[in-house]
Structure 1
Amino acid sequence: MRDASLRWTLSWQLSLVFVAVVTAVILGLGVYGAMTLSPNITMARTLRAAMAEAVVPAAQGRFEIARTAELEALEKENPDLWYVVATIDGAFQTHGAVPAPYAPLAPVVHRFREADIRGSADTDEIASIDTVQTAAGEVRILFGGGSGQHWPFLTLLAVTYPIYVPLLAIALPAIFLAVPRIVRRALAGLSEVARQASEIEPRRQGARLPTAGVPREVAPLVVAFNGVLGRLEQEFRARRRFLVDASHELRTPIAIMQTRIEGMPEGDDRRRLLDDVARLGETAEQLLDFERNDQAADPPESIDLVEIARTVVAELAPLAIAAGYDISFRSEAQTLTRQGSPSALPRAVSNLVRNAIDHGGNAGAICVSVSAQGDIAVSDQGRGIAEDHRELVFEPFYRVTPRSKGAGLGLSLVKQIVTNHGGEVEIESGATGTTVRIRL
Structure 2
Amino acid sequence: MLVCVRITSALVDPALLDLPWSMPLEEWPADHLVALPQGISRHVVRFVKLAGTVYAVKETGERVAEREYDLLRALERIDFPAVQAVAIVADRSTPDGEPLDPVLITRHLQFSLPYRALFSHTLRPETMTRLLDALAALIVRMHLTGFFWGDCSLSNTLFRRDAGAFAAYLVDAETGALRPSLSKGQRGEDLEIARVNIFGEALDLQAAGLLHDAIDPEIVAEEVVERYERLWHEITYEQEIKREDRHDIEGRIRRLNDLGFDVAEVAMSLVDGDGGYRVRPKVVDAGYHTRRLLRLTGLDAEENQARRLLNDLDTYRAESDLADEQQAAHRWLTEVFEPVVRAVPAHLRRKLEPSELFVQVIEHRWRLSEEAGRDVGLAPAVQSFLADVLVHRPDEQAVLGVELTASL
Give TM-score, length-normalised by structure 2. 0.22
Give TM-score, length-normalised by structure 1. 0.21
Q: Which protein is bigger by CA-based radius of gyration?
A: 1
Give the helix-richer structure, 1 or 2.
1
